[in-house]
Amino acid sequence: MLRFALLRTLSAIPTLLLVIVVAFIMVHAAPGGPFADERVLPPGTASNLAAAYHLDESLPHQFWRYLSGLARGDLGPSYHYRDYTVAELIGNAVPVSLLLGALSMVLALLIGGAAGIAAALRRNTWFDRGITAIAMTGISIPVFVVAPLFVLIFAVWLQWLPASWSGGVGVQRLVLPVIALALPQVAYIARLVRGSLIEVLSSDFIRTARAQGLSTSSILRYHALKPALMPLVSYLGPAAAAVLTGAVVVESIFGIPGLGQLFLQSGLNRDYTLVLGIVIFYAVLVILLNLLVDLAYGVLDPRIRGR
């Protein structure tokens, strides 16, 4: 197990380096420097600015400087918010995004898992078909359609909940964003769990358990549920990535001052260091989550470790 964990951890490093290199090159190959579209500066000021931000060095030099800063957790200064470092800006935005993302994932796992299990146990009934159809709809309709519809129905027409982050307090303002963000994941998870539980329930060892006279509930609890939920564990990585992507939209629709909105804003401001910093932050997060999922899978399913 230790060898497996070590190998998996080491194999995440090249992936991470790849992202950093690609993102760095993209940002630096972009036409126009960070100060290009401001008013014309006197030549002395322009070169001083470039020197202050080390833009006069060669690209490999700049990359090395960036990488060694990164190792110390230093992502450089923001080009747009002049008094802040990128790390500070990210640090300020992360907590609210984390809350939003974590609540959505928990909600998706609970509701999606329950719906999937219920549908699998009532296979081919109207209930199952209903869940399947709803899940298909949930998968197909993107977050940026669901979220505005929620605002329209629950905030504008019914006036039950605030339409934006600044228009409410406490739990109230979390409800719509969390549900909108969770919905596609609820649908995916319901489909995934339904399919895998049906497959497990039709396998030989369950038939044996049934032949021995075990009740459906103890078959589920002791035999069927664990293997049926294994695919769910490996879906957690992609799910987290999807929630991060969805959060960009949800945060911008509800005006939540999180990482997603900061990312969009910094893109529109052409704040290259900030964009680069956030992309790398996202990449680290996603790669780390995938690593954790892999390790959890190794713990839960010993067959994987040998590979």
Which residues, other chains included, contact 292 with Cβ-Cβ below 8 Å and sequence gap of 6+? none
The region of 56-64, 107-115, 134-142, 299-307 touching other proteins under the rule CB under 8 A is: 134-142
Site string for other proteins, 102-131 (x = CB under 8 A): ------------------------------
Instruction: Classify residue 191 by burial, with Cβ atoms within 10 Å: 0-12, 13-18, 19+.
Output: buried
- Residue list 236-295, contact with other proteins (CB under 8 A): 237, 241, 244-245, 248-249, 252-253, 263-264, 267-268, 270, 272, 275-276, 278-279, 282-283, 286-287, 290
CA gap 123, 47 in Å, rounded: 70
For residue 274, count CB atoms less than 10 angstroms from its CB and return exposed for 0-12, middle for 13-18, buried for 19 or more. Answer: buried
Binding mask 167-206 for other proteins (x = CB under 8 A): ----------------------------x--xx-------
User: Cα dihedral angle (229, 235, 240, 243), rounded to 10 degrees?
Assistant: -90
Point out which residues pair with 77 in neighbouring strands. 85
String marking each residue 212-241 x if it binds other proteins according to CB under 8 A: -------------------------x---x
By CB under 8 A, residue 12 contacts other proteins: yes
Site for other proteins in 25-54 (CB under 8 A): 26-27, 29-31
Between 110 and 152, whose beta carbon lies closer to other proteins?
Answer: 152
Q: Which string of DSSP letters, residue by residue, matches 8-48?
A: HHHHHHHHHHHHHHHHHHHHHHSSS-TTTTSSPPPHHHHHH
DSSP 42: P
Residue 226, both tokens: 């664990």
| CA–CA gap between residue 260 and residue 130 (Å, rounded) | 34
> In the bound complex, what is the minimum distance in angstroms from residue 67's beta carbon to other proteins?
18
H/E stretch holding 255 reads none
Residues interacting with other proteins, by CB under 8 A? 11-12, 14-15, 18-19, 22-23, 26-27, 29-31, 136-137, 139-142, 144-145, 148-149, 151-152, 156, 195, 198-199, 237, 241, 244-245, 248-249, 252-253, 263-264, 267-268, 270, 272, 275-276, 278-279, 282-283, 286-287, 290
